[in-house]
Structure 1
């Protein structure tokens, strides 16, 4: 908890001095299921049987979504089949692709990602130095301070609820529609809400934010 407070104090002071959030790029990975049915509560009168929910597959078909974004919207996104291991080497290749898409659009880049092993590997840290990106401190186990978790993926989960996809192309088209239909204000809100959340953590002595 104290580490969270210290990190948030550092970030808040830095932001007040430099106002760098509009140059922030962030991202993460997420499993996306082909079938997204959820159990629902049913209110029934006495003697009535409920509608049985769809059976949950013990090994659901899914893909890994990787994405990077900022206040202007999505920069790059990719999906990988179940079983694909995103290693530090693959992650570095992805960072190169993100950097290529940012070329000529943004001079200084502040980069926020969590502390997953591939994100903090020596090769990844070396790649970020080569790219000249400034890594933003992130307290471990703090999804409430990661805009991709508390903002973008939460909205995506709501979008995917109760949907079923026949194949990978069907799923890709739905993701593309979601990204295209989401306004720039949405992305700005997710990034620019960070100082308020840092202050909440400081004021609560490191407690997690419950939205």
Structure 2
């Protein structure tokens, strides 16, 4: 609720009316994110334009990953962070920050985001082709 009321609300308030009318919010299936109060707040904020386990647009818990955070970012960060054994909490923090800095540097010319966008399109096309069923992971 804190995230919705602070970070998300601030972001949405900063959008133009045109952008706001096209906005959709996708919620993961975590039980804490699916409580009645959170679902009610999402409906207040987004109307019918949110996707979730119990939302107006259902997103089954085991549906194919179509979000870049799931299919790209977290895997990339984990590969970078755990390429060798982590020895301390401080080492872990430094590795995480370096991994995100590396992504920022790659993203500077836009090529990384083009690859991620193209991968999203391929995933959506595959999902349509298999009528929402499961399909093999794709590489970027």
Q: TM-score, normalised by structure 2?
A: 0.63
Judged with a 3 Å threshold, the aligned counterparts in structure 2 of structure 1 residues 132 and 139 are, in CA distance, closer, same or farther, namely same
Kindly provide the CA deviation profile for residues 102-159 of structure 1, in whole angstroms up to 9, marking residues without a partner as x. 2664342422222222222111112223434731343331252232221111111211
How many aligned residue pairs are there?
119
Change (3 A) 1:125 1:192: farther
Counterparts of 1:182-201 in structure 2, within 5 Å, are 182=103, 183-184=106-107, 185=110, 186-187=112-113, 189-190=115-116, 193-201=119-127
Report the structure, 1 or 2, having the larger strand content. Answer: 1
> What do you get for the CA RMSD once the two structures are aligned?
2.9
**In structure 2, what is the equivalent of residue 135 of structure 1?**
50
CA distance in 2, matches of 1:163, 1:123: 41
Give the match's secondary structure for 2:85: coil
Please identify, of 154-163 and 135-144, the stretch whose mean Cα deviation from structure 2 is larger: 135-144
How has the CA–CA distance of structure 1 residues 200 and 135 changed in structure 2, closer, same or farther, with 3 Å as cutoff? same
What is aligned with 2:95?
174
How much does 1:101 deviate? 5.7
Higher normalized helix content (fraction of residues): 2
Q: Which runs of 5+ in 1 are unaligned?
A: 1-91
1:197 positional shift: 1.4
Counterpart selection for 1:158 from 67, 79, 97: 79
Please identify the structure whose Cα radius of gyration is greater.
1
Structure 2 stretches lacking a partner, 5+ long: 52-56
Report the counterpart of residue 144 of structure 1 in structure 2. Answer: 65
1:143·1:149 contact (CA, 8 Å) conserved in 2?
A: no
Name which of structure 1's ranges 181-190 and 194-203 shifts more when overlaid on structure 2. Answer: 181-190
Match of 1:118 among 18, 29, 32: 32
